[in-house]
Amino acid sequence: MSDPIDRTIVDPSAAGVDPGKLEALLNRVRPEVEHGPLPSAQLAVARGGRLVAFETWGDADPGTRYILQSVGRSVVAGVVWKLLGEGLLRLDERVAEIIPEFAPNGKEAVTVEHVLTHTAGFPFAPLGHPRMRDRDRRLAAFGRWRLDYPPGTRFQFHLTSAAWLIAEIVERRTGRRFADYLHERVAGPLGLRSLELGVPVERQKDTVAPMIATDRTGEDQEPDPWGAWYLSDPDVLAAGEPSHSLVGTAADVALFYQALEHSGLWRREAVEEGRRMRFAERPAGDELYGGGSKRVGMGLFVTVAGPDAGGNLPSTGSPALYGNSGAAYQLAFLDPETGLSFAWLCNGYPLAGYDLSPWGTALLTEVADLAADLL
C-alpha cells in the first residue's frame, strides 16, 4: 500500500466478493438511517488492500469522520504491535518499570500483557475530564489507582484505564505523544489521514459527526456516565482518551486492517502474535459495561471470534477473525482466513450507551453476520 492510498472502489466480483450478498448487507443498514432511528452511518468493505464498498447515509458525507469509541482499540492495538515487532516493548515487562509513577498501591506485578488483555485488575480506575487533559495529573492518578483483584485472575474490560496506560507506555518508549506517533509513524505513512486522536474543538464541527442520543425524549433524562454521551462534549473529545476518542472514516478503518496484513509497516510475526487468541472467557461485570454471557476471545487489545464469536463479532467468519465493536451501533474486523475487512460506524446511541433491546441486538447480530459472509 502506498501514500496516498487508492480509494477507488473495485468491482466486488473482481475482489471475490459476492455482489448479491454485498447488496443485502447495504440494505440491512440503509433503512435504519433512512427510516429508522440512526442519524447517519458509514460502511466500508475491503479486500486485498482495496475498497470494495464505501457508503454513507443520513446527515453525513464520505468525508465525515466518526468517533470510533471501542472500534478505535484496534488502532491502538496496531500501534502497540508495531512497538512489539520493533523490539521497543515486551509483553512480560512490568508496567511499573516503564512508568514508575504507576507502582503504588500494590500494582508492581501488572504486566504489559495484563493491560492489553483486560486482566490488569483495575477496570474502573477513575480518570475523568478535565484531569485527563494534563499529563502530570494523569500520572498522579495512575499512582492512586488500586487493584480490584490480583492481576491476571479476572477478565473484565478496562473501559478507559488500559488505554491511558498504553498511551503513556508508547510515549515512554518512543519519545512521542501517542497521538503524534499515530500520525507520524502509522496513519500518515499509510495515507489514512482521517484517523486522528485529540481533534481540536475548532476542527470538530465541520469534520466529525456529533454524537446524538436516539432515545432522548426530554431534557431531564440523564445519560449513563460511562456511555457514549461523554464524547459528545467537544472538550472531552479534544482531550483524546485513547480507547474511545479516535476519529476516522469507515473507509480508513477498513483499510487500516488491510494495512496490518499487507503494508509491510508491521513485522508479520508481530501481527500474528497480536491477533492470536490468548483465552476465551466470559467477561465479568454488568452487561452495560462490557460483561456478557458469551465467551470473548482476547488477543492483544483486540477481541477474537474464537469458539463463541463473543464481543459482538460475527459467527459467520473464521475463529481467527479479530476486531472490536463499539457502543452502540459500530463494528470493525478483519478475517485473516478470507482477507476481508469491514467497518460500520454510526453517531447514534441510546442514553444507556449500549442498545440491549431486541431491535438493537438483532441489528448488531445481523449486520455482523452479513458482513463476514460476503464471499
Q: How far apart are CA 290 and CA 158, in angstroms?
A: 9
| Catalytic machinery residues | 70
244 secondary structure, DSSP code? T
91 in Cβ contact with 341 (< 8 Å): no
DSSP, collapsed to helix, strand or coil, labels residue 28 as: helix
How many Cβ atoms from other residues are within 10 Å of residue 332's Cβ? 30
325 in Cβ contact with 232 (< 8 Å): no
Q: For residue 300, give the nearest of 154, 90, 18 by alpha carbon.
A: 90
Q: 19-34 vs 358-372: helix axis angle to the nearest 10?
A: 150
DSSP, collapsed to helix, strand or coil, labels residue 231 as: helix
Cβ-count burial of 149 within 10 angstroms (0-12 exposed, 13-18 middle, 19+ buried)? middle
Q: How far apart are CA 78 and CA 252, in angstroms?
A: 14
Sign of the CA dihedral running 49, 50, 52, 53: positive
DSSP one-letter string for 84-138:
HHTTS--TTSBHHHH-GGG-TTT-TT-BHHHHHTT-SS-TT----TTGGG-HHHH
CA separation, residue 292 to residues 18, 118, 295, 362 (Å): 33, 14, 8, 16
Q: What are phi and psi of 295, to 5 degrees?
A: -70, 135
